[in-house]
Structure 1
């Protein structure tokens, strides 16, 4: 434990000054050259003590190392003794109350109590050697009691100073820990912001692919059809252009619906959206049917939107890559989960071009990510053309309520 020279810095100088004034006054009023001859040594000792205080504060502020504190305490005891010998008034005995005071600050309460007891024992021993029957002389008994009282007050003040110092150290430790915690929290917040931004980029990319990507693909297919049938079948070509126009309008409508959903406007209806999607996908070469059972009430917009995006992706794959002529869409709302099944009679995913934008690439991956975030799952059965029931079956299941963030079922 180190001695804090600034814990109670005013006590030693005040006591030195009081002893100097008292001893000098006694020497001035006392008769004889002996008392006046001791005054110079008495004053010199007190000046050295003051210089020692100043040296310690300048050299070891804010705290004195334990070894240096022990050396300084020993030097002080020697100077206290020299001043007491040169003092004819006896007032310099009060300097010894600084011994337990300094020891308590430097080495703890136990050291202060032991040094205080040693000072009392030395005073009693001195009385026993030089003052016969001192215990029956009121002046000496009074001096002993006053000295003991001074020691008690000094130890009390030292204990208060030590507690204050410990409290300040603990407070500084708490503040330092708070600074470190604040720094870590700032790092965590920055990391969360980065992860949130990355997650938002993935979500936006998935939304663009599942919504605009689907409709743009449909527009491209319809325009290709219109181009191919322009000379051979003008009516079919016109219908293809009309379907392309509808897909473009539907894409714009879905963008508006997404914005409205973010603003808390009209709720999303999966049944209505599926019926609209199926109605405009069918033509003379493709038959699309829809079967809906149950009620979608009680399902949140995120779950319904995930099923709709899955239907878009599966229909796009079946039409463009699977070259299906018949697609069956089934939506069933159960008490605990909703299930969407899209089955076609096409060539399956294995026949899709490797570079296709949908197929088993980003589209299916985005579908799985969207559904799994809600605690659901996606099953894909790819039946090759060699089997009697050829084609692909995409089954998507989502629970009635979404999972809280970070949870798993």
Structure 2
């Protein structure tokens, strides 16, 4: 079942309007009793009808039922006023209700039609009351003069109050709708943030642990196959597996430290990473690192991008030398990574999750990643990230 938050908001508004409506009806009732109203029974009947209507709120009903609800209330008020039961204040309350029930355009039309009928009846009632107090024939123009005065007076009051009520209802409606839209957007942002966090964790697992665990699995499989035929090579594979398991622990510790350490030194971390890769592999690596102090999240993403690029070179490039340079300007961070390996065909290559992860990280920082490569011509990667 889908619940409309805006409808719930309007329900709370109508709940408050209901109490105001009861207050106005009570005030009318007290005034009628205290003034010796001859139509007390009729007044009580109309009051009862409007108390019942206040409980009936077709907020979630089709438009035609909501229009019928407003029209019925207006007709009842016009009839009450024609019969001498004054319900001016309740009329304005129903104009406020109609704004939420049938929309602004229909409310303007309803207010115009109701206003015309209401003012005509008010003028007729005033003239009848005036004629009842005059015991002689008035001079020429007297009735015309008083009719125009009464009309202008009634029209001015109706316009002033109805415009205020409709304007106030418009502001309240817009505020409630904006609040609910903001709440809905906040929920969407929270869901999106959770999705992004899951994506980030997946990338981190792939970049930090995925490669090491794959190599660990390979070494253990080698040791398992060679344990009977060649124990010496099996023990070498186990030694390598032990190194790789230690590397897994180090990767996890490094990831946790990176996320917690507010003084993470990106230059030093990249230098340590390159030293580690150079010692593990027969690669000649030349590097120049010069990066500013960056937010911890940005530094972590850049570190993972460089690490993924170097690991891809280790696994796939068959390169003998690697060049890495990082620098910055006042507007951007620039990373360049090149190797002299076998390269690949950009038009035919199906990028693996490593390059996809690099691209996602760079895009998450608002940057761009360009890859240049061709068979037997090495690979060049350029990353530009705005500061």
Quick check: TM above 0.5? yes
Q: Confirm whether residue 398 of structure 1 aligns to residue 384 of structure 2.
A: yes
Q: d(CA) in 2 for partners of 1:344 and 1:279?
A: 15
Residue number among 23, 34, 45 corresponding to 1:14 in the alignment: 34
Q: What does residue 43 of structure 1 align with?
A: none
SS of structure 2 residue aligned to 1:398: strand
Q: What does residue 274 of structure 1 align with?
A: 273
Q: What does residue 333 of structure 1 align with?
A: 327
Q: d(CA) in 1 for partners of 2:380 and 2:223?
A: 29
Query: Structure 2: where are the runs of 5+ without partners?
Result: 1-20, 55-71, 92-113, 139-145
Query: CA offsets per residue over residues 80-116 of structure 1, 9 Å max, x none?
Result: xxxxxxxxxxxxxxxxxx8xx6679766695587457
Higher mean alpha-carbon deviation, 103-112 vs 288-297, is at: 103-112
- Aligned-pair distance for 1:6? 5.0
Q: Is the 8 A contact 2:359 2:369 kept in 1?
A: yes
RMSD of aligned residue pairs (Cα, Å)? 4.6
Between Structure 1 and Structure 2, whose CA radius of gyration is higher?
1
Q: Is the 8 A contact 2:366 2:386 kept in 1?
A: no
SS of structure 2 residue aligned to 1:365: helix
Q: Is the 8 A contact 1:318 1:327 kept in 2?
A: no
Q: d(CA) in 1 for partners of 2:239 and 2:364?
A: 37
Q: d(CA) in 1 for partners of 2:293 and 2:240?
A: 33
- Aligned-pair distance for 1:344? 3.5
Query: CA offsets per residue over residues 231-280 of structure 1, 9 Å max, x none?
Result: 8896x887765554333323322211221232235514333333333233
Q: Is the 8 A contact 1:376 1:399 kept in 2?
A: yes
Cα distance change, pair 333–177 in 1 and its aligned pair in 2 (3 A): closer
Q: Confirm whether residue 202 of structure 1 aligns to residue 199 of structure 2.
A: yes
Cα distance change, pair 240–267 in 1 and its aligned pair in 2 (3 A): farther
- Aligned-pair distance for 1:300? 4.2
Query: Structure 1: where are the runs of 5+ without partners?
Result: 18-45, 77-97, 130-147, 385-389, 402-409
Cα distance change, pair 300–104 in 1 and its aligned pair in 2 (3 A): closer
SS of structure 1 residue aligned to 2:351: coil
Q: What does residue 312 of structure 1 align with?
A: 307
Cα distance change, pair 344–248 in 1 and its aligned pair in 2 (3 A): farther
SS of structure 2 residue aligned to 1:206: helix
Q: d(CA) in 2 for partners of 1:170 and 1:103?
A: 18
SS of structure 2 residue aligned to 1:10: helix
Query: CA offsets per residue over residues 117-143 of structure 1, 9 Å max, x none?
Result: 5256414642448xxxxxxxxxxxxxx
Give the 5 Å matches for 1:74-223: 74-76=82-84, 114-115=123-124, 118-119=127-128, 121-123=130-132, 125-128=134-137, 163=161, 179-220=176-217
Q: Confirm whether residue 58 of structure 1 aligns to residue 80 of structure 2.
A: no
Q: d(CA) in 1 for partners of 2:277 and 2:88?
A: 92
Q: d(CA) in 1 for partners of 2:322 and 2:164?
A: 76
Query: CA offsets per residue over residues 309-351 of structure 1, 9 Å max, x none?
Result: 33433343334344x15141312323342313131323x3459
Number of residues of Structure 1 aligned to a counterpart in Structure 2: 303
- Aligned-pair distance for 1:52? 1.5
Q: d(CA) in 2 for partners of 1:188 and 1:194?
A: 10
Q: d(CA) in 1 for partners of 2:262 and 2:77?
A: 76
Cα distance change, pair 326–66 in 1 and its aligned pair in 2 (3 A): closer
Cα distance change, pair 308–396 in 1 and its aligned pair in 2 (3 A): farther
SS of structure 2 residue aligned to 1:380: strand
Q: d(CA) in 1 for partners of 2:77 and 2:137?
A: 32
